[in-house]
Amino acid sequence: MKKFLLTLIVAVFAINASAQDYNWAVGVRGGGMASGLTVKHILGGGNAWDLSVSSYYDGGLYGSMVYEWVNDLGSNFSFFYGAGGHIGAGDKDDSGSFALGVDGIVGVEYQIPVAPIAFSLDYRPALNIISNSYFAGYDFGFGVKYTF
């Protein structure tokens, strides 16, 4: 039994030691208001940018880019937060309106140490400034990304 426990402990440390940070991630995000494709690029020094193209609850299509600050929490978890903007065209009230605004993001991510997969939970509030002005304050989302 002692040999088994010792082997298990060594294996866990070996797996964690081989965990690699990624430079790029491509995946999908499902949210309360927006769902779509995401691309994330780690810039180094605890910074990243995240570009997403999403279909919105109003039938519109939006592109957003946020700059993120990333903090390592250990055990393959990280905490991130940031700000950016979005542009798109919605179909709210059948007006086909153009939208431009600002976005925020805060969330946590877990990277599987033995596979190139990362999961994230985030909150992305957005404020449309041009066109159909409104505050989108309930966009909580779950993401799955392939990392490389």
The pLDDT tens digits of the residues spanning 65-112 come to 999 999 999 999 999 999 999 999 876 555 567 889 999 999 999 999
Portion of the chain with pLDDT greater than 90, in percent: 64
Q: What is the pTM of this model?
A: 0.80
pLDDT (0 to 100) of residue 13? 42
CA atoms of 42 and 66, how far apart (whole Å): 12
pLDDT (0 to 100) of residue 16? 41
Domains of the chain with bracketed CATH: 22-147 (2.40.160.20)
Q: What's the alpha-carbon Rg for the chain, to the nearest Å?
A: 18
